[in-house]
Amino acid sequence: MDNRFIQKLNGMALLGATEKAALEEVTANPTRFAARQDLIREGDPPGPVLVMLEGWACRYKVMPSGTRQIVAFLMPGDSCDLHTKLLTEMDHSIQTLTPALVARIPRSQIEKAMSEHRAIADAMYIAQLVDEGIMRAWIVSMGRRSSIERVAHLMCELYLRVRNIGLTHDHHFALPLSQQVLADALGMTPVHINRVLKELRLAGAMAIKRGSVAIMDPVKLVQIAGFDENYLHRRLRKAA
């Protein structure tokens, strides 16, 4: 099985055989989870560092009305909660969106790997900077982008993130997210999401069919989104 966590970190800071072996060791005993299962809940004490090896998950908040706002998507290779040990309790929940394989790494192990291997530490810190950049881009989308720009921007982002871990093929990638999940992430209704996706398809930019996204015209999709990939810090990774 390909270890997407190692693949992602190796794209951020060049890892040698020793660093890769250390990461293999800390992710050697993952746990399988069903879809829609909480890995940790808001109010829980911080737990181990979570690493997605297979499947997708999300960070989310539940409003007093019972509605859900998704604030981040996690895909294979992503890790989370490196620094939440400084908190007394979690301020959001994390839930699987698909069946998933997740490594739950004790903080002592990941801290040891980072302290003994500078390249691992550099890669983990760059990954955190990218996560923060994504969060800022989402805030801008929610506050300033139109509905069609918001959807197009998210699709550009997800495509690049999936491509970075080798899960695209000829401008296609699997998107195991329902329209309700997209609505929860984009602050829209499923009906509105459906209408916007139809607009993007009729514009010849992209189409979603059977859980897969086809980017039909990347230039047009980028133009609609006003997409600038600098917040994903790919240049920073090359310099690491």
Q: Could you give the CA distance from residue 104 to residue 39 in angstroms, rounded to a whole number? A: 10
What is the per-residue pLDDT for 239?
A: 42
Which residue bears the tokens 């790997």? Answer: 113
Q: Could you give the CA distance from residue 28 to residue 125 in angstroms, rounded to a whole number? A: 22
Q: Give the length of the chain.
A: 240
Give the three-class secondary structure for 66. coil
Q: Could you give the CA distance from residue 19 to residue 76 in angstroms, rounded to a whole number? A: 19
Axis crossing angle, helix 17-26 with helix 107-116, rounded to the nearest 10: 180
Give the pLDDT means over successive 10-residue stretches in the chain (240 positions): 90 94 96 97 91 97 95 96 74 96 94 95 92 96 97 97 91 95 97 97 95 96 95 59
What is the per-residue pLDDT for 86?
A: 65
What is the per-residue pLDDT for 237?
A: 47
Q: Is 47 exposed, middle or buried (0-12, 13-18, 19+ CB in 10 A)?
A: middle
CATH 2.60.120.10 fits 4-128, yes or no: yes
Phi-psi region of 10 (alpha: psi -120 to 50; beta: other; left: phi over 0): alpha
What is the per-residue pLDDT for 32?
A: 98
What is the per-residue pLDDT for 85?
A: 63
What is the per-residue pLDDT for 88?
A: 82
Q: What is the pTM of this model?
A: 0.93
Q: Could you give the CA distance from residue 42 to residue 207 in angstroms, rounded to a whole number? A: 35
CATH 3.40.50.2000 fits 146-239, yes or no: no
What is the per-residue pLDDT for 236?
A: 44
N- to C-terminal Cα separation, the chain: 26
Give 179-203 as a DSSP string.
Answer: HHHHHHHHT--HHHHHHHHHHHHHT
Q: Is 42 exposed, middle or buried (0-12, 13-18, 19+ CB in 10 A)?
A: middle
**CA quadruple 232, 234, 239, 240: dihedral sign:** positive
Give the three-class secondary structure for 236. helix
Q: Which amino acid is at 158?
A: L
The token pair at 234 is 């790919």
Whether 4-128 and 146-239 share one fold: the answer is no
Q: Could you give the CA distance from residue 104 to residue 83 in angstroms, rounded to a whole number? A: 14
Domain extent listing, the chain: 4-128, 146-239
What is the per-residue pLDDT for 1?
A: 60
Which residue bears the tokens 């950049």? Answer: 133
